[in-house]
Structure 1
Amino acid sequence: MKRLTSILKKEKTNPPTISRRTQLKPGEVWQNQTPTSLHEQAPSSTSNDLRAPLDEIVDEKYQKYQQLKILEKEEQRIVDEKKKIQDKKKKIEEYKKKVEEYKKKIQEEEMMVQEDEKNVILAKKKLEDEKKRSLKMKKSEAD
């Protein structure tokens, strides 16, 4: 670290920071780059000539990478939404089946109630007939 700061002091430039790269706007070129190792250093006349296009390429690639990440997130969101829709459709189908089952049960119950009503009516008629018969028998016995 001391060596790097001494090299930077000799060149009188600021060290590149990651936050500076992330703050770049589209088309903006990252300036004041300092090579971090000796093998990256190029002669100063060609260094500036090569650095600008290289920085532009890096910036373009980084922007494309960010766009790709955004697209991937959007695609995942769409996939998640489709899954939610499918789940909702399945629940709706299950509810429809339950409703049909309840309708059948209600119809069966209604039929049973109707049968019970008929049985009650028949039982009343039988009871009335028996009462009439017993009254007739009592009258005939009384005569």
Structure 2
Amino acid sequence: MNKFIKEEAKKFKDKYDVLQDKIKEFDRIAIFRHISPDFDCLGTQFGLSTFIKDNFPNKDVVVLGDNHDVFTGKLFPETDKISDSWFNEPFLAIIVDVGDKKRIADPRFMKATFKIKLDHHPETDQIFDVSIVDTSLAAA
């Protein structure tokens, strides 16, 4: 593994452990992102979804947010269309690539039992239970 990645990961070991524990704890996981998504946003969101589904196949994982006019269907799949009732049961929200809660593409993240932020933008809102933020990185 790249030495830089190993060093960066050490800084967040405790928070990564919480992330892993919460993924194991919750059967339902929703991954949110910012409005008007770009490459790093979509890549992080769909990459994380794929990782969780591959490693925890019994989890109900949904990817939420508006679709991109160009990228959706060509580079990335469409986001999930989920009814409001899905959010009535406990779920973990993982919010990626969003520096400001007003830019989160789906407000239903606020209904989450537990909220984790993965990002490279400075923290502006203290609404997350755990924040894993490294502003020195190009993407979350």
The TM tier, using the shorter chain, reads under 0.3
Structure number with the higher helix fraction is: 1
TM-score (norm 2): 0.21
- Bigger radius of gyration, 1 or 2? 1
